[in-house]
Amino acid sequence: MAIATTLRQEVTELLQELIRADTTNPPGNETVAAELLRDYLEGSGVSCELYARIPERANLVARIPGRGEGLSLLFLSHTDVVLADPSEWAAAPFGGEVRDGEVWGRGALDMKGQVAASAVAIASLAREGFEPAGDLIFAATADEEVGAGFGAQWLCETHPDAVRCDFVINEGSGDRVELGGKPFYLCAVSEKMSAPFVLRVLGRSGHASMPSIADNALVKAAPLITAIGNYRPERHLIPEVEALLETVGGERPTSPDDVLDRARAVAPLLAELVEPLLSMTLSPTMASASPKRNVVPAVCEITVDSRLLPGTTPAEQQEVVRTLLGEGDYEIEVLEAHGGTRSPMDTPLWRAVESWVESVDPGARPAPVCVAGFTDSHWFREAFGSVAYGFFPSRVMKIETASRLIHSADERVPVEDLELGVSFLRHAAQTIG
């Protein structure tokens, strides 16, 4: 890499290079990104280690060792990206072009921008001779987008000593939003759980020309699908929603029923943020029955996507579903559940976010949110009890624009937001350390 004169230029150039290293998952090929990062970091004197389950899918872990027993902080990010169809893009998705102050390319937002900012933060601190109290770690992991066991999960299980830490800063949030006329930076402290299941409706096959002798599983499934689709799950007030409403509106809500009205009264965006955080969701998304037109199906399988509030278990979800569907000719296969973890809000990491926000944007405050999807944070919360937040600040690009571009065409990130990210990560390391 050419000698960069400012951190802004350094993070821009590193992101451009990362975007040009195609790590579309599948197949991933994250080793190209890990090696690129290793070369960059070692150039600043940061020691790196590559950990790979298979050679082409390496995870990079870099570290500035702590002076002693202080609290350790880990910058977490993933280097894989989702597919990009060049025909939909106004720029080459793996070109890493800078246009009008924005870096264009697949992964600019999700999340090579944060990868680059984390690398530049730790590299610049190392060059300044920064000696944290506890270890400062940077993990750029493989395989977040598919989650087939090559990335964060594998790293936490197989090499726990490499990534064990007290605090994690990961993706998930960080947008500056105006709510009720006041500025806030959203910080993700928890995530919903993804807990899908298959509803298998049972009948008896037969020739379709004589339907009365058969028992059509597809037809029997119809009212069950409708029941699931029409179901309005009970609302609950989770601590993150209470804290969010209190931070933004000044008042702690007392019941889950008036939360949406209160939120709407402050700002439509607040209502949009809060709505998925009031209850579990049940969404039938896939169906299969007879493979042949002239055969009445004996089995109809419905896959149901379901997201649970943190604190709700799949067993509680199943009780709700069975009560809803009642007795019948069906069985339920629970698929693997992920996520649904939370971190406390009263922590040194929260205070680091708070003091940074105050320093760059006087009058603004961080506001806690629960992410409706899930990230790799839960592996660290589960394995080490780490406090993990999703926070990468974004001020120039609006949340509405960013959410339209992630996993979509014309993904790009403003250079100014990258620089802001470097500033936050450096501040967090210096504050915790």
| Contact residues for Zn ion, defined by CB under 5 A | 110-111, 171
Question: Which two structure tokens, joined as six digits, stand for 305?
Answer: 């996507």
Q: State in angstroms the smallest separation of the CB of 369 from Zn ion.
A: 16
Smallest distance from Zn ion to CB 147, Å: 11
Which of 107, 168, 106 has the alpha carbon at shortest distance from 138? 168
Q: Give least dist CB 172 to Zn ion, A.
A: 8
The CA distance from 173 to 185, in Å, is 8
Tally of helices (H runs) and strands (E runs) in the chain? 14, 20
Assign 190 to helix, strand or coil: strand
For residue 230, what are the CA distances in angstroms to 185, 225, 337?
A: 35, 9, 23
Q: How far apart are CA 401 and CA 384, in angstroms?
A: 35
Report the residue number whose CB is nearest to Zn ion: 110
DSSP SS3 for 321:
helix
The rounded distance, in Å, linking the Cα atoms of 46 and 53 is 23
Q: How far is the CB of 53 from Zn ion (least distance, A)?
A: 20
Nearer to Zn ion, 111 or 371 (CB): 111
Q: How far is the CB of 411 from Zn ion (least distance, A)?
A: 11
Alpha-carbon distances, residue 334 vs 93, 153, 267, 311 (angstroms): 37, 21, 38, 18
CB 152, min distance to Zn ion, A? 11
Cα torsion for 85, 87, 91, 93, to the nearest 10°? 10
49 and 61 in contact (C-beta within 8 Å)? Answer: yes
CB of 57 to Zn ion, least distance (A): 16
Instruction: Decide whether 280 or 381 has the Cβ nearer to Zn ion.
Output: 381
Are 102 and 414 contacting, i.e. CB atoms less than 8 angstroms apart? yes
Nearer to Zn ion by Cβ, of 171 and 175: the residue is 171
Q: Secondary structure of 71-109 in the HEC alphabet?
A: CCEEEEEECCECCCCHHHCCCCCCCCCEECCEEECCCCC
Asked if 233 and 280 touch (Cβ cutoff 8 Å), the reply is yes
Give the nearer residue to Zn ion in terms of CB position, either 125 or 142: 142
CB of 405 to Zn ion, least distance (A): 13
Closer Cβ to Zn ion, 10 or 411, answer by number: 411
CA 244 to chain centre: 19
The smaller minimum CB distance to Zn ion, of residues 15 and 111, is found at 111
Comparison of 10 and 171: residue with beta carbon closer to Zn ion: 171
Least distance to Zn ion, CB of residue 111, Å: 4
Considering beta carbons, is residue 10 or 143 the nearer one to Zn ion? 143
Residues 6 or more apart in contact with residue 190 via CB below 8 angstroms:
238, 240, 310, 341, 342, 343, 370, 371
Give the residues across from 153 on adjacent strands: none
